[in-house]
Structure 1
Amino acid sequence: MTSLVSRFIASIVRRGNLTITFANGTRRTFGDGSGKPVHVEFTTASAERQVLFDPEYYLGHCYGEGTLILRQGSMYDLLEVVFTGNPDGGLEYKPWMKALGKLRYWFRHIRENNVIHRSRANVQHHYDLTGKLYDLFLDQDRQYSCAYFENSDSDLEEAQLAKKRHIAAKMVMNRPGLSVLDIGCGWGGMALYLARNVGAKVKGVTLSDEQLAIARDRAGQSGIADRLDFQLQDYRHVTEQFDRIVSVGMFEHVGRPHYQAYFDKAAQLLKKDGVMLMHTIGRTDQPSVTNPFIEKYIFPGGYIPALSEVMPAIEKSGLKITDIEILRLHYAETLRAWRERFMSRWDEAKALYDERFCRIWEFYLAASESAFRWQNLVIFQFQLAHDQEAVPLTRDYIQTAENCLRAAEQKNGLLNFPHQAAE
């Protein structure tokens, strides 16, 4: 088995500096010796077989279980070697890996069939973890989605504020008192931003008890609670119509079988002169499946769509696409910041849960960053409307609106946001 694993690793790691100690004590080095040295140890022969058979799942699983140990370097360092170690173009998928991927693809709709009761259970699996965990690595506003790095020297707080500003600008918030539906409102940061800086009246819906409690508490302390309404509600149960709809980082939880229902409902809830902005992770290649490790341990029922999977559902809903923007590498930088913050507060995370949980989350953050940095993931921002004249004819209005929002932030005490919470 050691020789089989060695041949497999040698085929994908041709550059870099990777040393592996196998369960039988054998030690071998792979790559050309360049870069940061990484040393991995397998503690069982079973772990070697598992990673050989299905590395997409078992690399993270075995690391979490402690049957794969990092003796030198971090998980991110290991993944960098894996994803950049082949000068011919990245990770080479072996025939058995391709067959396993096809099998998962055939049964994808079962895992992604997020009916209402299942959607709530899936959301609770991740988002009802203690808020103290998210305090360890998120920004002060608890933005758990891709930030927008306007400048190379922007920090996480500045980039998350810029994300909210950029989204608000594209929502064409051109008068106070607009009604807004925030689908998947999280801990309330986007809703608070819109209510405070443009005078919007925002209804936020979530399926997480933990997020709802925090969002309502923040609203109560904001001084603008009359503009905010947070509810534990599935978007499919919303009945009112709104001037604007925003959804940030929620569409990944809808599941392909429900794409049409999602956009049909959005079309029903959006007024005829309204504007919707949907911010979601997307893939730049053809439709695929959710990484099995992520699906089991982090986001059950989740799926990241290709553009070709989203467009037909939008078209059939009757909504018009008025703008699409692709954010490249912004999420890689966001995840880098999260990963570094999480790793620096490992002991605190361990006190909340345990060592195994920390290893699983290290792998999740490192693998996610790797996917945005070296693989096929980006952010799609869709601007949608019923009326093609609902938004200006050129994109100049976005910069103009962002400048106005900066002025509003300054007026509301947010200019020095890195040093204070947006509440």
Structure 2
Amino acid sequence: MLEKTFYKMMLSKSFPFSVKVTYWDGKSEVYGNGDPEIEIVFNEKIPMSEITRNASLALGEGFMDKKIEIHGNIQKLLVGAYESADSFMRASKFRKFMPKQKHTEKQSEEDIQSHYDIGNDFYKMWLDPTMTYSCAHFEDGNKDDLEQAQIAKVHHILNKLHPQKGKTLLDIGCGWGTLMLTAAKEYGLKVTGVTLSEEQFKLVQKRIYDDNLQDVAKVRLQDHRELGDQKWDYITSVGMFEHVGKENLPKYFADVYKYLNKDGVALIHGITRQQGGATNAWLNKYIFPGGYLPGLPEIVTDIIDSGLQITDMETLRRHYQRTLEIWDKNFNAVRPEVEKKFGERFCRMWDMYLNACAASFESGNIDVIQYLLTKGPSGKTLPMTRKYMLDK
């Protein structure tokens, strides 16, 4: 009876719309006014001690283990939880525990490989043909397909640099290489990519040789902190600083400064919380070990303290929401095949991850921002207006 009372307290104020909850004893209650669009079914009771310790971890694991079923739109349910001030996603009494993290070079390598080295074949199943695993740029709203939007994102980033043919570019956290290889092939740059993922490294190497780009492109399986004294004219880094940890953010931006030539330009693209930095216990345990989403004030402070200057900032929150919605649709289209290889629990985990991230962007809980930075007076080597960024 006590736990039922606790669940009612937790769920009755967690959503701005009507939700039906069916408990482990088969009894149901509707919270909110009107006909419920979504039903939460508790097949098993999750101890309230686990929920009060960390709600996202307990409920996330409950969903993975089929202790919880959700009938209806998962993304909408989570958006409601993010938008309700008294929900288990926001109220301080439900957020008491966060795991400690380490970000040594060895730990960073293990964290990256745990996620990205699931296998290239896995990501090929539901990413677009460019193998781009970051926010796309939908220039024509919902009319763009994902591949078109990912190619547009790459050009949007490179155009912001105002690159000059023959100069050099470093891509920190190069992924499967689409950005750096586009810079080499279409912008005439000499490019270097670095990654800690062995799977990504092997594929980028193959793409370099397949396209006969050995003279202008190279990839390193290396921590970005170990690049020595070499310098580049341009630096890009997409979806990278979320992995370095709160304690290493100042060093990350100091390294960007260090690796840039005088008057160099960098475009840093990463998930940022406008409300302040945060971690999530479930995501850290199952999806992104060591992940930390920095707050906007600390990012700006670290940039300024490094000696870099901010020339431009652009928020792309709605673009990432759309990207994740397409990824989840793609993932569920191949879900039977994924389940054969990785199991049902993995599929439930991945589906929840994509829905939770889409909901978090939709609700404004997280954002993604592009920071255009210069080593030297802000914008000194760039055109005076933003019009150049949009020129084709």
TM-score higher than 0.5 here?
yes
Aligned residue number for residue 302 of structure 1: 291
Q: Is the 8 A contact 1:205 1:230 kept in 2?
A: yes
Amino acid at match of 2:29: R
Change (3 A) 1:293 1:95: closer
Count how many residue pairs are aligned between Structure 1 and Structure 2.
386
- Could you say what the CA RMSD is over the residues aligned between the two structures, in angstroms? 2.0
- For residues 154 and 214 of structure 2, what CA distance do their matches in structure 1 show? 19
What is the aligned partner in structure 1 of residue 356 from structure 2? 367
Unpaired segments of 5 or more residues in structure 1? 84-88, 404-423
Runs of 4+ in 1 over 6 A off after TM superposition: none
Deviation by residue 1:56-110 (Cα, 9 ceiling, x = unmatched):
222211000111123x224334324434xxxxx5241469951463553xx7xx4
CA distance in 2, matches of 1:333, 1:93: 25
* CA deviation map 1:400-423 (0-9, x unaligned): 2xx1xxxxxxxxxxxxxxxxxxxx
1:251-296 per-position Cα deviation (integer Å, ceiling 9, x unaligned): 1111111111111111111000211110001111123x21111111
**SS of 1:145's equivalent?**
coil
Q: Which of 212, 221, 225 in structure 2 is aligned with 1:232?
A: 221
- Between 1:303-312 and 1:334-343, the stretch displaced more is 303-312
Matched, 1:7 2:9: yes
Name which of 79, 86, 90 aligns with 1:92: 86
TM-score, normalised by the number of residues in structure 1: 0.86
CA shift digits 1:129-164 (9 cap, x unpaired)? 011211122111111000111112111111111100
Change beyond 3 A, Cα 1:49–1:100: closer
Q: 1:165 aligns with which of 133, 155, 164?
A: 155
Percent identity of paired positions between Structure 1 and Structure 2: 34
- Please tell me whether the aligned partners of residues 133 and 352 of structure 1 are also in contact (alpha carbons under 8 angstroms): no
Give the alignment of 1:5-404 within 5 angstroms: 5-16=7-18, 18-34=19-35, 37-46=37-46, 50-51=50-51, 54-70=54-70, 72-83=71-82, 90-93=84-87, 97-99=91-93, 101=95, 103-104=97-98, 110-111=100-101, 113-152=102-141, 153-173=143-163, 175-239=164-228, 240-287=230-277, 289-388=278-377, 389-400=380-391, 403=392
- For the 8 Å contact 2:321–2:362, the answer to whether it is kept is yes
Q: What letter matches 1:59 in structure 2? A: L
Aligned partners of 2:144 and 2:88: how far apart in 1? Answer: 40
Q: In 1, distance between residues paired with 2:22 and 2:96?
A: 32
Q: Residue 75 of structure 1 contacts residue 362 of structure 1 at CA under 8 Å; is this kept in 2? A: no
**Per-residue deviation, residues 370-401 of structure 1 (Å, max 9, x unmatched):** 0000132111111111222122222122122x
Unaligned runs of 5+ in 2: none
Amino acid at match of 2:256: A
Moved more, 377-386 or 2-11: 2-11
CA distance in 2, matches of 1:80, 1:274: 40
The SS at the match of 1:12 is: coil
What is the deviation of 1:54? 3.4
Aligned mates of 2:280, 2:78 — CA distance in 1? 15
Taking the aligned partners of 2:282 and 2:88, their CA distance within structure 1 comes to 19
Asked whether the 8 Å contact 2:15–2:87 carries over to 1, the reply is: no
Question: Structure 1 CA distance, aligned partners of 2:6 and 2:238?
Answer: 44
TM-score (norm 2): 0.93
- The whole-number CA distance in structure 2 between the counterparts of 1:159 and 1:137 is 15
